[in-house]
Amino acid sequence: MNYARAPRHYWTRPGPKPAVTSLPEVAGRLGLWFAVASVFLTPFNILRFDAFYFTISDGFALAAVFAAILGKSFSISPLGAGTFLWNIGIALLCGMLLLSSLIHGDPQRGFIISAQYLYAYFLLAFMIVSRPWAEIVLLMKSFLCSIAVMCLQGIVIIDILKQRGTVFVSGNGRFQGWVERENECATLIALSVPLMLWLVASGCIRPRWLWVGLPLFGYGIILTGSNTGLIGLVFAVTIFVVATGSWRRIISLAVTSLAAFFIAVTWGRDFLPEVFQHRVLNALQNGDLDEAGTFADRMRLIHEAIGKADNNSLLGIGADQYRQVSELHAPVHNTYLLIWVEAGLPGFIGFLLLLVAGITIAILAARSREGKVSAICTATTVLLFAALANALPHLYSRFFLVPLLLGMAPSVAILRDGPASRTVTRFLRGTRSKYGRSRPFLRRRI
């Protein structure tokens, strides 16, 4: 036989066959990037269908959940020990909204609003919370990058381009962002602050990003002219610093806050945006809350809602029906009262159980090894969400729920997987434990 024309390496031993990637692995990778895209696009409320409330972020979220099912990584208890209370709260809230609408209100609106709450509070938990440490940190960074880009956009279109009356800026010069609503935009920015503080405190990002991100987020809230958002920002920073810092840092925060307040009240008209001066600064200088935006009108709605809540003990008037029975023909900007009137007392209890579930997770995380910082993040986020609910109507928009669930995720992760590995907390400057992980540096810095 003539082997002269045999191809090169003809007689060599064949190598191993390339590994075939399994379906669960592919689905897991795709699911992660679908979740990242969904979280990043959360503030893009403007990108939604006109027929019903479904955003582009929701589309990626559904894809992420479907990929988790294919990848066999779908957890039946995404919130760990808090799952039972969370699910009971969702069932009471959605069930009573639907039942009240079927009996007293509009059944169509009852189905729609109940479905929105069920999707936001139930399905998103599977996409966000039940993930390992590295993926949780990636989702947080994605969300904060989106908020930072939105704040930078506000600076460009308001301070540089001087735009007014557009889709991003209201006619009176208030920044609406991609949310298309001023107070909701400010609330979204405020809810992102505990996440940024946790990333720095846990060593997931370098401390210098806090000195860049916090002023940027604060100025973004100033551009909205929202008293609610500004109070929320101060609340989040105060709770986190008091819970994690030493007395020296608490005193430093108090002195810095007083200095900023004095400078704003004394010279604020020289450098603060006009809309902030009109809606916030005038009230601070004159000491009159009636000048703080629409505070007087909101209080009228709250007093009216308190009277209506007394007459709705078991069943409510139905989802989205408050504006129909109100003398001012507007929904009360208080989630607790609005749910009580429209869903009845059991629905109100269900909403409270959602908050109790978050606090329960924080308490359990605080008792675990190296779980204090994660517990503080969760407690701060849940308490901030609960406080902001006093100034907002229904809270089923996804840009409210994503930061809440991201704030709960570190506590769930530490209860499920233990402390984060060094590859996750790689910027943590602390002592090394005998287990090879860095201990939180609560006495060092935030």
- Concatenate the DSSP letters of all residues of 40-101 into one string: HTTT-TTSB-SSSS-BHHHHHHHHHHHHHHHTT---S-TTGGGHHHHHHHHHHHHHHHHHHH
Report the b/e string of 155-182 with b at 16+ CB within 10 A: eebbeeeeeeeeebbbeebbbbbbbebb
Task: Tell me how far apart the alpha carbons of residues 30 and 27 are, in angstroms, rounded to a whole number.
Answer: 5
Structure confidence at residue 140 as a pLDDT band (50, 70, 90)? very high
In sequence order, which ranges of 155-276 are alpha helices (DSSP H)? 182-201, 208-224, 227-244, 247-267, 274-276
| Mean pLDDT (whole number) for 325-347 | 87
End-to-end CA distance of the chain: 78
Model confidence over 338-353: pLDDT tens digits?
999 999 999 999 999 9
Task: Tell me how far apart the alpha carbons of residues 149 and 422 are, in angstroms, rounded to a whole number.
Answer: 29
DSSP code per residue over 315-346: S-S-TT-HHHH-TT-S--S-HHHHHHHHHHHH
3-class DSSP state of 382: helix
Model confidence over 74-115: pLDDT tens digits?
788 889 889 999 999 999 999 999 999 999 888 999 999 999
Q: Is the dihedral of CA 34, 405, 131, 117 positive or negative?
A: negative
3-class DSSP state of 252: helix
Span of 92-96, 292-296, 440-444 with lowest mean pLDDT: 440-444
How many beta carbons lie within 10 A of that of residue 10, not counting itself? 8
Share of the chain above pLDDT 90, in %: 50
Structure tokens given for 82: 């808090």
Q: Decide: 400 and 232 in contact? Cβ < 8 Å.
A: no
Model confidence over 18-64: pLDDT tens digits?
555 676 777 878 989 999 999 999 999 999 887 788 999 999 999 99
DSSP code per residue over 259-310: HHHHHHHHHGGGTS-HHHIIIIIHHHHHT-GGGSTTHHHHHHHHHHHHHHHT
- For residue 366, which of 404, 415, 438, 422 has the smallest C-alpha distance? 415
Task: Tell me how far apart the alpha carbons of residues 382 and 140 are, in angstroms, rounded to a whole number.
Answer: 16
> Rounded to 10 degrees, what is the CA torsion of 380, 381, 387, 388?
150
Task: Tell me how far apart the alpha carbons of residues 211 and 231 are, in angstroms, rounded to a whole number.
Answer: 19
Structure confidence at residue 365 as a pLDDT band (50, 70, 90)? very high
pLDDT for residue 441 is more than 50: no
| Mean pLDDT (whole number) for 304-324 | 82
Domain ranges of the chain: 78-417
> Bigger pLDDT: 7 or 446?
7
> Bigger pLDDT: 325 or 414?
414
Task: Tell me how far apart the alpha carbons of residues 336 and 302 are, in angstroms, rounded to a whole number.
Answer: 10
> Which residues pair with residue 55 across a beta bridge?
48
Name the average pLDDT for the chain.
85
Output the pLDDT for position 2: 54
State residue 95 phi and psi, 5-degree precision: -65, -40
pLDDT for residue 439 is more than 50: no
| Mean pLDDT (whole number) for 404-418 | 94
Structure tokens given for 16: 């191993």
Output the pLDDT for position 312: 67
pLDDT for residue 430 is more than 70: no
